[in-house]
Structure 1
Protein backbone atom coordinates (compact mmCIF):
# COMPACT_ATOMS: atom_id res chain seq x y z
CA UNK A 1 0.00 0.00 0.00
CA UNK A 2 1.00 3.66 -0.19
CA UNK A 3 2.50 5.19 2.95
CA UNK A 4 -0.87 6.69 3.98
CA UNK A 5 -4.11 5.14 2.71
CA UNK A 6 -7.51 6.58 3.75
CA UNK A 7 -10.19 4.15 4.87
CA UNK A 8 -13.16 4.56 2.49
CA UNK A 9 -16.03 6.45 4.07
CA UNK A 10 -14.11 7.37 7.22
CA UNK A 11 -12.05 10.35 8.44
CA UNK A 12 -9.20 7.93 9.16
CA UNK A 13 -6.25 6.36 7.37
CA UNK A 14 -3.85 3.47 7.69
CA UNK A 15 -0.17 4.43 7.66
CA UNK A 16 2.94 2.34 7.15
CA UNK A 17 5.35 3.26 9.94
CA UNK A 18 8.06 0.94 8.67
CA UNK A 19 7.26 -2.42 10.22
CA UNK A 20 4.24 -1.14 12.11
CA UNK A 21 0.71 -0.52 10.86
CA UNK A 22 -0.92 2.57 12.36
CA UNK A 23 -4.50 3.82 12.36
CA UNK A 24 -4.31 7.61 12.10
CA UNK A 25 -7.08 10.09 12.95
CA UNK A 26 -7.13 13.79 13.81
CA UNK A 27 -9.11 16.11 16.06
CA UNK A 28 -11.17 13.79 18.24
CA UNK A 29 -12.12 16.69 20.57
CA UNK A 30 -13.42 14.60 23.46
CA UNK A 31 -15.89 16.56 25.57
CA UNK A 32 -16.83 19.03 22.83
CA UNK A 33 -20.51 18.96 23.84
CA UNK A 34 -19.69 20.53 27.22
CA UNK A 35 -17.82 23.35 25.50
CA UNK A 36 -20.66 23.93 23.04
CA UNK A 37 -23.08 24.18 25.94
CA UNK A 38 -21.08 26.75 27.91
CA UNK A 39 -19.49 28.70 25.07
CA UNK A 40 -22.39 28.83 22.60
CA UNK A 41 -25.48 27.78 24.49
CA UNK A 42 -25.94 24.75 22.24
CA UNK A 43 -27.41 21.71 23.98
CA UNK A 44 -26.33 18.40 22.44
CA UNK A 45 -26.35 14.93 23.94
CA UNK A 46 -22.83 13.56 24.33
CA UNK A 47 -21.47 11.36 21.54
CA UNK A 48 -18.72 10.02 23.80
CA UNK A 49 -19.81 6.40 23.57
CA UNK A 50 -20.25 6.45 19.80
CA UNK A 51 -16.88 8.19 19.30
CA UNK A 52 -15.14 5.54 21.35
CA UNK A 53 -16.92 2.62 19.72
CA UNK A 54 -16.22 4.05 16.27
CA UNK A 55 -12.51 4.29 17.04
CA UNK A 56 -12.40 0.76 18.40
CA UNK A 57 -14.28 -0.51 15.35
CA UNK A 58 -11.75 1.19 13.06
CA UNK A 59 -8.90 -0.41 15.00
CA UNK A 60 -10.48 -3.81 14.32
CA UNK A 61 -11.19 -2.99 10.68
CA UNK A 62 -7.68 -1.71 10.00
CA UNK A 63 -5.86 -4.40 11.98
CA UNK A 64 -3.61 -1.63 13.26
CA UNK A 65 -0.70 -2.08 15.66
CA UNK A 66 -1.03 1.47 16.99
CA UNK A 67 -3.47 4.39 17.12
CA UNK A 68 -2.06 7.82 16.25
CA UNK A 69 -4.10 10.96 16.95
CA UNK A 70 -2.91 14.05 15.06
CA UNK A 71 -3.65 16.41 17.89
CA UNK A 72 -6.66 17.69 19.83
CA UNK A 73 -7.57 14.42 21.47
CA UNK A 74 -9.35 16.58 24.05
CA UNK A 75 -11.28 19.79 23.52
CA UNK A 76 -10.58 21.89 26.61
CA UNK A 77 -7.27 23.75 26.30
CA UNK A 78 -6.59 23.51 30.04
CA UNK A 79 -6.76 20.50 32.33
CA UNK A 80 -9.60 18.16 31.28
CA UNK A 81 -12.33 17.77 33.87
CA UNK A 82 -15.90 16.64 34.29
CA UNK A 83 -17.49 14.86 31.33
CA UNK A 84 -14.43 15.47 29.16
CA UNK A 85 -12.09 13.87 31.70
CA UNK A 86 -14.44 10.90 32.00
CA UNK A 87 -14.60 10.46 28.22
CA UNK A 88 -10.82 10.67 27.90
CA UNK A 89 -10.26 8.18 30.73
CA UNK A 90 -12.63 5.65 29.19
CA UNK A 91 -11.29 6.10 25.66
CA UNK A 92 -7.61 5.92 26.63
CA UNK A 93 -8.23 2.80 28.75
CA UNK A 94 -10.16 1.10 25.93
CA UNK A 95 -7.58 1.89 23.24
CA UNK A 96 -4.45 1.11 25.26
CA UNK A 97 -5.93 -2.23 26.34
CA UNK A 98 -5.56 -3.15 22.65
CA UNK A 99 -2.73 -1.11 21.12
CA UNK A 100 -0.31 1.70 22.05
CA UNK A 101 -1.64 5.25 21.61
CA UNK A 102 0.48 8.09 20.22
CA UNK A 103 -0.69 11.71 20.42
CA UNK A 104 0.90 14.33 18.17
CA UNK A 105 0.46 17.17 20.63
CA UNK A 106 -2.00 19.82 19.45
CA UNK A 107 -3.00 23.25 20.69
CA UNK A 108 -5.81 21.71 22.79
CA UNK A 109 -3.64 19.00 24.34
CA UNK A 110 -1.60 20.68 27.07
CA UNK A 111 -3.77 19.32 29.84
CA UNK A 112 -4.27 15.97 28.12
CA UNK A 113 -0.53 15.43 27.79
CA UNK A 114 -0.01 16.16 31.48
CA UNK A 115 -2.91 13.98 32.62
CA UNK A 116 -2.30 10.95 30.40
CA UNK A 117 1.41 11.08 29.63
CA UNK A 118 1.99 7.90 31.62
CA UNK A 119 -0.28 5.93 29.27
CA UNK A 120 0.02 7.86 26.01
CA UNK A 121 3.14 8.57 23.96
CA UNK A 122 3.08 12.34 23.33
CA UNK A 123 5.22 13.86 20.58
CA UNK A 124 6.57 17.43 20.67
CA UNK A 125 4.40 20.16 19.16
CA UNK A 126 6.50 20.21 15.99
CA UNK A 127 5.89 16.53 15.41
CA UNK A 128 7.82 13.29 14.97
CA UNK A 129 8.82 10.93 12.20
CA UNK A 130 7.94 7.23 12.08
CA UNK A 131 9.57 5.43 9.16
CA UNK A 132 8.75 7.43 6.03
CA UNK A 133 5.80 9.23 7.67
CA UNK A 134 5.95 12.50 9.62
CA UNK A 135 3.10 13.42 11.96
CA UNK A 136 2.12 16.64 13.70
CA UNK A 137 -1.01 18.53 14.60
CA UNK A 138 -0.36 21.47 12.30
CA UNK A 139 -0.65 24.50 14.60
CA UNK A 140 3.13 25.01 14.47
CA UNK A 141 5.87 24.70 11.87
CA UNK A 142 7.00 21.08 11.51
CA UNK A 143 10.47 20.05 12.61
CA UNK A 144 13.17 19.37 10.04
CA UNK A 145 12.93 15.67 10.94
CA UNK A 146 9.22 15.64 10.00
CA UNK A 147 9.95 17.44 6.74
CA UNK A 148 12.53 14.81 5.83
CA UNK A 149 9.76 12.19 5.57
CA UNK A 150 8.10 11.16 2.32
CA UNK A 151 4.60 11.86 3.66
CA UNK A 152 3.59 14.50 6.22
CA UNK A 153 0.26 14.05 8.03
CA UNK A 154 -1.47 16.93 9.82
CA UNK A 155 -4.81 17.75 11.40
CA UNK A 156 -5.89 21.11 12.87
CA UNK A 157 -7.66 22.42 9.74
CA UNK A 158 -10.77 20.19 9.82
CA UNK A 159 -10.97 20.59 6.00
CA UNK A 160 -14.36 20.60 4.31
CA UNK A 161 -15.77 21.63 0.94
CA UNK A 162 -18.95 23.54 0.17
CA UNK A 163 -20.68 21.90 -2.79
CA UNK A 164 -23.32 23.81 -4.77
CA UNK A 165 -25.71 22.28 -7.30
CA UNK A 166 -27.12 23.77 -10.50
CA UNK A 167 -30.21 25.21 -8.77
CA UNK A 168 -28.30 26.91 -5.96
CA UNK A 169 -28.63 24.28 -3.27
CA UNK A 170 -25.53 23.60 -1.24
CA UNK A 171 -24.09 21.24 1.33
CA UNK A 172 -20.83 21.00 3.23
CA UNK A 173 -18.87 17.75 3.34
CA UNK A 174 -15.69 16.76 5.11
CA UNK A 175 -12.72 16.34 2.84
CA UNK A 176 -9.11 15.25 2.58
CA UNK A 177 -6.54 17.69 1.25
CA UNK A 178 -3.41 16.25 -0.40
CA UNK A 179 -0.57 17.77 -2.38
CA UNK A 180 3.14 18.47 -2.67
CA UNK A 181 5.02 21.04 -0.61
CA UNK A 182 7.33 23.96 -1.32
CA UNK A 183 10.71 23.58 0.38
CA UNK A 184 11.46 27.31 0.19
CA UNK A 185 8.39 28.18 2.28
CA UNK A 186 9.51 25.84 5.06
CA UNK A 187 13.11 27.00 4.94
CA UNK A 188 11.89 30.57 5.41
CA UNK A 189 9.49 29.59 8.18
CA UNK A 190 12.18 27.65 10.05
CA UNK A 191 14.83 30.29 9.49
CA UNK A 192 17.26 28.02 7.63
CA UNK A 193 18.71 27.89 4.15
CA UNK A 194 16.78 25.63 1.80
CA UNK A 195 19.98 23.66 1.13
CA UNK A 196 20.06 22.68 4.82
CA UNK A 197 16.78 20.78 4.61
CA UNK A 198 16.78 17.05 4.00
CA UNK A 199 14.06 17.18 1.36
CA UNK A 200 12.36 14.12 -0.12
CA UNK A 201 9.60 16.04 -1.94
CA UNK A 202 7.01 15.05 0.68
CA UNK A 203 3.29 14.78 0.11
CA UNK A 204 1.13 16.64 2.60
CA UNK A 205 -2.02 14.87 3.83
CA UNK A 206 -4.45 17.09 5.74
CA UNK A 207 -6.89 14.91 7.68
CA UNK A 208 -10.58 15.67 8.13
CA UNK A 209 -11.66 15.95 11.77
CA UNK A 210 -12.73 12.72 13.42
CA UNK A 211 -15.27 14.72 15.41
CA UNK A 212 -17.87 15.98 12.94
CA UNK A 213 -19.22 18.46 15.52
CA UNK A 214 -16.02 20.51 15.54
CA UNK A 215 -16.63 22.68 12.46
CA UNK A 216 -13.95 23.23 9.84
CA UNK A 217 -12.20 25.23 7.16
CA UNK A 218 -14.15 25.42 3.89
CA UNK A 219 -11.09 25.10 1.71
CA UNK A 220 -12.85 26.01 -1.55
CA UNK A 221 -14.54 29.19 -0.31
CA UNK A 222 -12.71 32.45 -0.94
CA UNK A 223 -11.94 34.33 2.24
CA UNK A 224 -11.82 31.24 4.44
CA UNK A 225 -8.46 31.53 6.20
CA UNK A 226 -6.32 28.49 6.88
CA UNK A 227 -5.16 27.81 10.43
CA UNK A 228 -1.74 26.22 9.91
CA UNK A 229 1.11 28.76 9.63
CA UNK A 230 2.37 27.10 6.45
CA UNK A 231 -0.96 26.92 4.60
CA UNK A 232 -1.91 27.65 1.93
CA UNK A 233 1.42 29.21 0.85
CA UNK A 234 3.49 26.02 1.19
CA UNK A 235 0.98 23.80 -0.61
CA UNK A 236 1.96 23.67 -4.26
CA UNK A 237 -0.87 21.72 -5.87
CA UNK A 238 -3.44 20.62 -3.30
CA UNK A 239 -6.38 18.45 -4.33
CA UNK A 240 -9.53 17.69 -2.35
CA UNK A 241 -11.11 14.26 -1.91
CA UNK A 242 -14.41 13.33 -0.28
CA UNK A 243 -14.47 10.67 2.41
CA UNK A 244 -15.79 8.13 -0.09
CA UNK A 245 -12.67 8.66 -2.23
CA UNK A 246 -14.22 10.94 -4.86
CA UNK A 247 -11.47 13.11 -6.32
CA UNK A 248 -12.63 16.72 -6.64
CA UNK A 249 -9.41 18.11 -8.13
CA UNK A 250 -7.75 21.41 -7.28
CA UNK A 251 -9.35 22.45 -3.97
CA UNK A 252 -9.47 26.09 -5.07
CA UNK A 253 -11.66 25.26 -8.09
CA UNK A 254 -14.16 22.85 -6.53
Structure 2
Protein backbone atom coordinates (compact mmCIF):
# COMPACT_ATOMS: atom_id res chain seq x y z
CA UNK A 1 0.00 0.00 0.00
CA UNK A 2 2.02 2.94 -1.25
CA UNK A 3 0.22 6.04 -0.05
CA UNK A 4 0.79 9.16 -2.13
CA UNK A 5 2.45 11.89 -0.10
CA UNK A 6 2.76 9.74 3.02
CA UNK A 7 5.76 8.54 4.97
CA UNK A 8 6.99 5.13 3.84
CA UNK A 9 8.54 3.81 7.07
CA UNK A 10 5.54 1.47 7.56
CA UNK A 11 4.32 -0.71 4.71
CA UNK A 12 1.42 -3.17 5.08
CA UNK A 13 1.96 -6.78 4.06
CA UNK A 14 -0.40 -7.37 1.10
CA UNK A 15 -3.45 -9.33 2.13
CA UNK A 16 -2.58 -9.41 5.83
CA UNK A 17 -3.43 -7.35 8.95
CA UNK A 18 0.29 -6.72 9.46
CA UNK A 19 2.97 -4.29 8.35
CA UNK A 20 6.74 -4.02 8.17
CA UNK A 21 8.32 -1.00 9.84
CA UNK A 22 11.78 0.20 8.88
CA UNK A 23 13.47 1.15 12.12
CA UNK A 24 16.10 3.70 13.04
CA UNK A 25 17.80 4.88 16.19
CA UNK A 26 19.41 2.04 18.13
CA UNK A 27 17.89 -0.42 15.62
CA UNK A 28 18.96 1.39 12.45
CA UNK A 29 18.85 -0.93 9.45
CA UNK A 30 16.47 -3.38 11.12
CA UNK A 31 12.86 -4.13 10.28
CA UNK A 32 9.98 -5.09 12.55
CA UNK A 33 6.88 -7.08 11.78
CA UNK A 34 4.08 -5.09 13.43
CA UNK A 35 0.61 -6.42 14.33
CA UNK A 36 -2.13 -5.26 16.68
CA UNK A 37 -4.78 -6.86 18.86
CA UNK A 38 -3.81 -10.52 18.87
CA UNK A 39 -6.29 -11.30 21.68
CA UNK A 40 -4.97 -14.74 22.58
CA UNK A 41 -7.58 -16.85 24.30
CA UNK A 42 -10.56 -14.96 22.92
CA UNK A 43 -12.55 -18.17 22.46
CA UNK A 44 -12.33 -18.85 26.19
CA UNK A 45 -13.72 -15.40 26.93
CA UNK A 46 -16.52 -15.72 24.38
CA UNK A 47 -17.56 -19.01 25.96
CA UNK A 48 -17.77 -17.64 29.51
CA UNK A 49 -18.92 -14.09 28.77
CA UNK A 50 -21.41 -14.69 25.97
CA UNK A 51 -22.10 -18.40 25.83
CA UNK A 52 -20.59 -18.64 22.33
CA UNK A 53 -18.89 -21.96 21.66
CA UNK A 54 -16.02 -21.72 19.19
CA UNK A 55 -13.16 -24.14 18.67
CA UNK A 56 -9.86 -22.57 19.64
CA UNK A 57 -7.95 -20.92 16.80
CA UNK A 58 -4.74 -20.70 18.83
CA UNK A 59 -2.59 -22.88 16.58
CA UNK A 60 -3.85 -21.20 13.41
CA UNK A 61 -3.15 -17.73 14.84
CA UNK A 62 0.35 -18.72 15.89
CA UNK A 63 1.12 -20.34 12.55
CA UNK A 64 -0.11 -17.23 10.68
CA UNK A 65 2.16 -15.02 12.73
CA UNK A 66 5.20 -17.26 12.36
CA UNK A 67 4.57 -17.51 8.61
CA UNK A 68 4.56 -13.71 8.42
CA UNK A 69 7.90 -13.57 10.24
CA UNK A 70 9.27 -15.98 7.65
CA UNK A 71 7.67 -14.13 4.73
CA UNK A 72 8.96 -10.70 5.76
CA UNK A 73 12.31 -11.83 7.21
CA UNK A 74 11.77 -9.22 9.94
CA UNK A 75 14.39 -8.74 12.64
CA UNK A 76 11.85 -8.42 15.47
CA UNK A 77 8.15 -8.53 16.29
CA UNK A 78 6.16 -5.60 17.71
CA UNK A 79 2.61 -6.13 18.97
CA UNK A 80 0.58 -2.93 19.39
CA UNK A 81 -1.22 -4.04 22.51
CA UNK A 82 -3.85 -6.58 23.53
CA UNK A 83 -1.64 -9.59 23.06
CA UNK A 84 -3.96 -11.42 25.43
CA UNK A 85 -7.72 -11.07 25.78
CA UNK A 86 -8.35 -11.16 29.53
CA UNK A 87 -7.83 -7.83 31.26
CA UNK A 88 -6.55 -9.58 34.38
CA UNK A 89 -4.15 -12.48 34.75
CA UNK A 90 -4.30 -15.06 31.97
CA UNK A 91 -5.37 -18.60 32.79
CA UNK A 92 -6.45 -21.85 31.19
CA UNK A 93 -6.44 -21.94 27.41
CA UNK A 94 -5.29 -18.33 27.14
CA UNK A 95 -2.24 -18.95 29.32
CA UNK A 96 -1.35 -22.03 27.28
CA UNK A 97 -1.73 -20.09 24.03
CA UNK A 98 0.45 -17.24 25.28
CA UNK A 99 3.13 -19.62 26.57
CA UNK A 100 3.38 -21.39 23.22
CA UNK A 101 3.28 -18.15 21.24
CA UNK A 102 5.95 -16.37 23.27
CA UNK A 103 8.24 -19.41 23.11
CA UNK A 104 7.80 -19.78 19.35
CA UNK A 105 8.44 -16.12 18.58
CA UNK A 106 11.35 -15.55 20.96
CA UNK A 107 13.08 -18.65 19.59
CA UNK A 108 13.29 -16.66 16.33
CA UNK A 109 13.36 -12.93 17.02
CA UNK A 110 13.11 -10.39 19.87
CA UNK A 111 9.50 -9.67 20.86
CA UNK A 112 8.25 -6.23 21.94
CA UNK A 113 4.80 -5.73 23.45
CA UNK A 114 3.41 -2.19 23.60
CA UNK A 115 0.92 -2.58 26.43
CA UNK A 116 -2.79 -2.37 25.69
CA UNK A 117 -5.74 -2.12 28.01
CA UNK A 118 -5.99 -5.95 28.06
CA UNK A 119 -2.32 -6.54 28.89
CA UNK A 120 -1.97 -5.95 32.63
CA UNK A 121 -1.72 -9.63 33.40
CA UNK A 122 0.36 -10.42 30.32
CA UNK A 123 2.96 -7.81 31.22
CA UNK A 124 3.24 -9.17 34.77
CA UNK A 125 3.46 -12.81 33.73
CA UNK A 126 5.65 -12.58 30.62
CA UNK A 127 7.71 -9.46 31.27
CA UNK A 128 10.86 -11.53 31.77
CA UNK A 129 10.46 -12.98 28.27
CA UNK A 130 9.16 -9.93 26.42
CA UNK A 131 10.34 -6.37 25.96
CA UNK A 132 7.25 -4.69 27.47
CA UNK A 133 6.73 -0.97 26.71
CA UNK A 134 4.18 1.56 27.87
CA UNK A 135 1.16 1.71 25.57
CA UNK A 136 1.30 5.51 25.41
CA UNK A 137 4.58 5.59 23.60
CA UNK A 138 7.51 3.52 22.37
CA UNK A 139 9.61 5.39 19.80
CA UNK A 140 12.29 3.80 17.64
CA UNK A 141 13.96 6.26 15.32
CA UNK A 142 11.19 8.04 13.40
CA UNK A 143 8.52 5.41 14.11
CA UNK A 144 6.31 5.44 17.21
CA UNK A 145 4.23 2.56 18.52
CA UNK A 146 1.16 3.04 20.75
CA UNK A 147 -1.90 0.99 21.60
CA UNK A 148 -4.45 3.80 21.39
CA UNK A 149 -6.48 3.43 24.58
CA UNK A 150 -4.85 6.52 26.08
CA UNK A 151 -3.30 9.76 24.89
CA UNK A 152 0.15 9.27 23.35
CA UNK A 153 3.21 10.75 25.01
CA UNK A 154 4.70 13.97 23.69
CA UNK A 155 7.69 11.99 22.37
CA UNK A 156 5.35 10.11 20.05
CA UNK A 157 4.26 13.35 18.37
CA UNK A 158 7.84 14.03 17.31
CA UNK A 159 7.92 10.83 15.22
CA UNK A 160 7.19 10.77 11.49
CA UNK A 161 4.88 7.75 11.69
CA UNK A 162 2.65 6.61 14.56
CA UNK A 163 1.45 2.99 14.53
CA UNK A 164 -1.67 2.28 16.57
CA UNK A 165 -4.05 -0.58 17.38
CA UNK A 166 -7.09 -0.68 19.68
CA UNK A 167 -9.73 0.41 17.15
CA UNK A 168 -10.00 -2.81 15.10
CA UNK A 169 -11.06 -0.63 12.11
CA UNK A 170 -13.43 -2.13 9.55
CA UNK A 171 -15.65 -0.84 6.77
CA UNK A 172 -19.19 -1.90 5.90
CA UNK A 173 -19.49 -2.25 2.12
CA UNK A 174 -22.87 -2.30 0.41
CA UNK A 175 -23.44 -3.40 -3.20
CA UNK A 176 -25.96 -2.10 -5.74
CA UNK A 177 -28.64 -4.61 -4.74
CA UNK A 178 -28.43 -3.93 -1.01
CA UNK A 179 -26.14 -6.75 0.02
CA UNK A 180 -23.42 -5.87 2.49
CA UNK A 181 -20.27 -7.24 4.05
CA UNK A 182 -17.80 -5.99 6.63
CA UNK A 183 -14.09 -5.97 5.83
CA UNK A 184 -11.12 -5.16 8.06
CA UNK A 185 -9.36 -1.98 6.98
CA UNK A 186 -6.38 0.25 7.48
CA UNK A 187 -6.72 3.93 8.28
CA UNK A 188 -3.90 6.31 7.34
CA UNK A 189 -3.82 10.06 7.68
CA UNK A 190 -2.03 13.09 9.18
CA UNK A 191 -2.57 14.04 12.80
CA UNK A 192 -3.77 17.49 13.88
CA UNK A 193 -1.59 19.38 16.31
CA UNK A 194 -4.26 21.39 18.14
CA UNK A 195 -6.08 18.63 20.11
CA UNK A 196 -2.76 17.37 21.46
CA UNK A 197 -1.60 20.84 22.43
CA UNK A 198 -4.87 21.34 24.28
CA UNK A 199 -4.49 18.01 26.07
CA UNK A 200 -0.92 18.79 27.19
CA UNK A 201 -1.90 22.38 28.00
CA UNK A 202 0.82 23.92 25.84
CA UNK A 203 0.86 26.24 22.87
CA UNK A 204 0.63 24.29 19.62
CA UNK A 205 3.86 25.90 18.43
CA UNK A 206 5.68 24.51 21.47
CA UNK A 207 4.99 20.86 20.65
CA UNK A 208 7.89 18.97 19.12
CA UNK A 209 5.91 18.17 15.99
CA UNK A 210 7.02 16.37 12.83
CA UNK A 211 3.72 16.21 10.91
CA UNK A 212 3.16 12.61 11.97
CA UNK A 213 1.12 10.19 9.92
CA UNK A 214 -1.17 7.92 11.94
CA UNK A 215 -1.46 4.32 10.78
CA UNK A 216 -4.35 2.51 12.50
CA UNK A 217 -3.91 -1.26 12.22
CA UNK A 218 -6.70 -3.76 11.65
CA UNK A 219 -6.96 -6.39 14.36
CA UNK A 220 -4.85 -9.49 13.81
CA UNK A 221 -7.55 -11.59 15.49
CA UNK A 222 -10.47 -11.85 13.08
CA UNK A 223 -12.81 -12.92 15.92
CA UNK A 224 -12.39 -9.73 17.94
CA UNK A 225 -14.97 -7.53 16.20
CA UNK A 226 -14.28 -3.97 15.15
CA UNK A 227 -15.26 -0.35 14.71
CA UNK A 228 -17.17 0.25 11.47
CA UNK A 229 -15.48 3.53 10.68
CA UNK A 230 -17.82 4.47 7.81
CA UNK A 231 -21.07 3.93 9.75
CA UNK A 232 -22.59 6.82 11.69
CA UNK A 233 -22.92 6.20 15.39
CA UNK A 234 -20.09 3.67 15.68
CA UNK A 235 -17.61 6.12 17.18
CA UNK A 236 -13.91 5.72 17.88
CA UNK A 237 -12.43 4.24 21.05
CA UNK A 238 -9.23 6.33 21.27
CA UNK A 239 -9.64 9.55 23.27
CA UNK A 240 -7.90 11.60 20.56
CA UNK A 241 -10.00 10.37 17.62
CA UNK A 242 -11.53 11.59 15.42
CA UNK A 243 -10.55 15.15 16.51
CA UNK A 244 -6.85 14.35 16.29
CA UNK A 245 -7.07 13.31 12.63
CA UNK A 246 -6.88 16.01 9.98
CA UNK A 247 -8.15 13.47 7.44
CA UNK A 248 -7.76 9.76 6.82
CA UNK A 249 -8.22 7.26 4.04
CA UNK A 250 -9.31 3.66 4.35
CA UNK A 251 -7.64 0.74 2.60
CA UNK A 252 -8.63 -2.91 2.37
CA UNK A 253 -6.08 -5.57 3.28
CA UNK A 254 -5.36 -6.18 -0.41
CA UNK A 255 -4.34 -2.52 -0.78
CA UNK A 256 -7.55 -1.28 -2.42
CA UNK A 257 -7.83 2.43 -1.71
CA UNK A 258 -11.35 3.34 -0.60
CA UNK A 259 -10.76 7.06 -0.08
CA UNK A 260 -11.95 9.20 2.82
CA UNK A 261 -13.20 6.74 5.44
CA UNK A 262 -16.21 8.94 6.19
CA UNK A 263 -17.46 8.67 2.62
CA UNK A 264 -16.88 4.97 1.91
TM-score interval for Structure 1 and Structure 2 normalised by the shorter chain: over 0.9
- TM-score, normalised on structure 1? 0.99
CA RMSD of aligned residues (A): 0.9
Aligned to 1:64: 74
Structure 1 unaligned blocks of 5 or more: none
Taking the TM superposition and a 5 Å limit, the aligned residue runs for 1:1-254 are 2-18=8-24, 19-254=29-264
Counterpart CA distance in 2 for 1:191 and 1:62 is 41
Q: CA deviation at 1:124?
A: 1.1
Q: CA deviation at 1:191?
A: 2.5
Counterpart CA distance in 2 for 1:12 and 1:89 is 22
**For residues 84-110 of structure 1, what are the alpha-carbon distances to aligned partners after superposition, in whole Å with 9 as ceiling and x for unaligned?**
000000000000000000011000000
Q: CA deviation at 1:194?
A: 1.4
Counterpart CA distance in 2 for 1:209 and 1:171 is 17
**For residues 155-196 of structure 1, what are the alpha-carbon distances to aligned partners after superposition, in whole Å with 9 as ceiling and x for unaligned?**
000000000001100000000000001011111122322122
Counterpart CA distance in 2 for 1:192 and 1:114 is 34
Q: Given that residues 187 and 194 in structure 1 are in contact (C-alpha distance below 8 angstroms), is that contact kept between their aligned partners in structure 2?
A: yes
Q: Given that residues 105 and 127 in structure 1 are in contact (C-alpha distance below 8 angstroms), is that contact kept between their aligned partners in structure 2?
A: no
Counterpart CA distance in 1 for 2:200 and 2:63 is 40
Counterpart secondary structure, 1:24: strand
Structure 1 runs, 4 residues or longer, greater than 6 Å off: none
Structure 2 unaligned blocks of 5 or more: 3-7
- TM-score, normalised on structure 2? 0.95
Q: CA deviation at 1:153?
A: 0.4
Q: Given that residues 70 and 103 in structure 1 are in contact (C-alpha distance below 8 angstroms), is that contact kept between their aligned partners in structure 2?
A: yes
**For residues 43-86 of structure 1, what are the alpha-carbon distances to aligned partners after superposition, in whole Å with 9 as ceiling and x for unaligned?**
00000000000000000001100000000000000000110000
Q: Given that residues 141 and 190 in structure 1 are in contact (C-alpha distance below 8 angstroms), is that contact kept between their aligned partners in structure 2?
A: no
